[in-house]
Amino acid sequence: MASIAHQTVVITGAGSGLGRAMVHAFSQQGWSVAVADINVDAGQKVVAEIEATGGQAFFQRCDVREEADLQQLCDRCLHEWQGIGVLINNAGVVSSMGSTELTLLSEWQRLLDINLLGVVRGCAAFTPTFKAQQGGHIVNIASIAGISSLPKFANYNASKAAVISLSETLRIELGQKNIGVTVVCPSLFKTNLADSMVNPREGQHEKVSQAMERSSISADDIAQKVVKAVNKNQFYLLPHKHTWLVWWLKRLSPRLYELVMARWPVA
């Protein structure tokens, strides 16, 4: 595909978890990687891992809450490379568990600023470059929570549902310009995402971490699927097979879907 001919990929939140796994997955395919993260030590460590295996990568500190950081990231990539192939908006946090009426507005604001507006800022910063070079690909990391709303995670669900809607819009807007879009909607998988919980209440970190450990899919597994999805210009990527069943159940039998979600193990 002309849209990914540059074989260069930019990944936010690349210092750990799924972001780090995607850095390695793309590097193993010969891609050059821009490792972007707010955690300098973690990001530089990932770059060192790639360089130790003969790959090419550089680190750029990036806080996705800052528009200037995303623009500086884009400018750095254009300086380092002749073009940009793929942008992966991966940086995100998970909310603490709690009923909607008891969730503080400050928690909503912080989570939406990172999970949703961080993606918006990334797309806004890089899309002009993709249009100018007449090709590119955007990958937005959402969650199955944006499709199948987990109880007691209203703000997280809302942020990821908005990312899915944004991605659908971009797919239509940019498709005729040779710019692909993929939205990734994983369920729980083995990663350190629980460490990013906003103001976790007693026992919640352990509960979410245990649910993640029970997953049969790792971050590395999902990262490999992301690489394939980019190469195929696949739009929806639901890595867990059971999530397709939940998605169809929601459409075919809303009442049964509600009963299933009420028994979701994390809630």
**Active site (catalytic) residues:** 156
Amino acid at 11: I
Sheet holding 8-12, edge to edge: 57-61, 32-37, 8-12, 86-89, 136-141, 179-184, 236-237
Separation CA 180–CA 231 (nearest Å): 10
Query: What letter does residue 50 receive in the DSSP assignment?
Result: H
* DSSP state letter for 197: -
Instruction: Provide φ and ψ at 87, rounded to 5°.
Output: -110, 125
Residue 253 token pair: 């039998």
Q: Are 238 and 39 in contact (CB under 8 A)?
A: no
CA–CA gap between residue 72 and residue 70 (Å, rounded): 5
Q: Cβ(5)–Cβ(135) under 8 Å?
A: yes
**Positions of E strands within the chain:** 8-12, 32-37, 57-61, 86-89, 136-141, 179-184, 236-237
Report the 10 Å Cβ neighbour count for 11.
32
Determine the Cα–Cα distance for residues 144 and 187; give it in Å rounded to an integer.
5
Q: What Rg value do the Cα atoms of the chain yield, rounded?
A: 18
